[in-house]
Structures are given as C-alpha cells and as structure tokens.
C-alpha cells in the first residue's frame, strides 16, 4: 500500500495544479455557465477522492467494504471518462481545453493506472476478510499521511465550490464574474 499512497499523492499534486491553474485561473470554470455539467462531474469525483485520501493512509476496507471501495473507484473512472467528453463541449466557445491541461490529465491517468496496478490486488485481498474498516496504517512516513489529509481537505473544498457553482449559489463564482 505504500506505493499506492505515493502514487496517489503524486496524482493529487498534479490534480491540485490542474484545478488551481487550469480550472480556476485560466478557464474560470465556476463562472462559465456552459461548464455546469463538467463542474458536477468534478464535484462527484472530488468527494470520492476526499474519502479515499482521508481513509487509505490509515484504514483497510475489508470484506464488503472492499466492494464499496471498488465501486467508488469504478465510478471515479466513469466520471473521468465522461469529463473528458463533456469538457470539450463546455469550453468550445473559449477555444477548448488548454494543451497543458490535456497533458496534466494524461499524466494523472498514467499515475492513476500505475496506482491501480498496485492497489487492486490489495483490494482483492481485503475482499476476502471479514467486513470492517480496519485501522491498518501502511508503512509510509508520517508527513505523507499529513499531506494526504491536506489534499483530502483541498479536494473536498474544491468539490463544494464546484457544487455551489452548479447550483448557482450567489457569489459561488468569486472572484470571477459569471459570463
């Protein structure tokens, strides 16, 4: 699991850059009405990552919970595929998705694939145990756990921001003006 956590941390760092630089600063997605579907997908994915980043550094999802974890990972993959399709349409009037953003998405997909290659056999092993969320921290440096918790907070906050923009809550596009 330590390799999985390192890879998920790398993906989280790339994802944070992608979100802050491309989604927030360059594209200003929360202020783009055409991006509502894209933002809804981002919010769903963000909440999944928040749960994963919060639990995996500390807990093993055993028994039926392993199936739940697998379902969340499968949902995240489906959301990401849908996002790849939707973002082209949502941003067409602004010239589409930035080339560097495509590169960051590709890097995240590669890193996530590598994480899954290590993670899925572990989840398969968890499935054969009694159902419980078991405190079983992997052998990783404590600062990595702290970083993952900080990323969980960041991705959860991003998900809330995106959801508020989808719901058109006043001032949810701050500091950008809705276009």
Q: Are strands 59-62 and 132-135 parallel, antiparallel or unpaired?
A: antiparallel
For the entire predicted model, the pTM comes to 0.94
Euclidean distance between CA atoms 105 and 46, whole angstroms: 15
**Domain range summary for the chain, segments of one domain joined by +:** 2-166
Report pLDDT digits (tens) over 20-32: 999 999 999 999 9
What percentage of the chain carries pLDDT values higher than 70? Answer: 99
Torsion on CA atoms 157, 162, 164, 168, rounded to nearest 10: 160
CB 105 within 8 A of CB 18: yes
Q: Enumerate residues 6+ apart whose C-beta is below 8 A from 54.
A: 148, 149, 152
pLDDT in tens, 16-75: 999 999 999 999 999 999 999 999 999 999 999 999 999 999 999 999 999 999 999 999
């Amino acid at each position: 699991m330590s390799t999985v956590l390192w890879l998920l941390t790398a993906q989280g760092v790339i994802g944070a850059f992608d979100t802050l630089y491309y989604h927030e600063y360059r594209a200003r997605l929360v202020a783009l009405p055409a991006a509502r579907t894209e933002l809804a997908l981002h919010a769903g994915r963000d909440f999944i990552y928040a749960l994963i980043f919060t639990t995996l550094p500390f807990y093993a999802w055993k028994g039926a919970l392993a199936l739940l974890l697998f379902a969340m990972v499968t949902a995240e993959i489906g959301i990401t595929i849908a996002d790849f399709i939707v973002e082209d349409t949502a941003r067409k009037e602004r010239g589409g998705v930035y080339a560097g953003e495509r590169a960051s998405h590709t890097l995240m997909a590669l890193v996530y694939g590598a994480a899954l290659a290590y993670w899925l056999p572990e989840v398969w092993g968890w499935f054969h145990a009694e159902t419980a969320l078991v405190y079983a921290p992997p052998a990783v440096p404590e600062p990595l756990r702290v970083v993952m918790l900080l990323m969980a907070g960041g991705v959860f906050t991003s998900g809330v921001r995106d959801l508020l923009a989808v719901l058109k809550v006043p001032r949810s596009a701050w500091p950008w003006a809705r276009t």
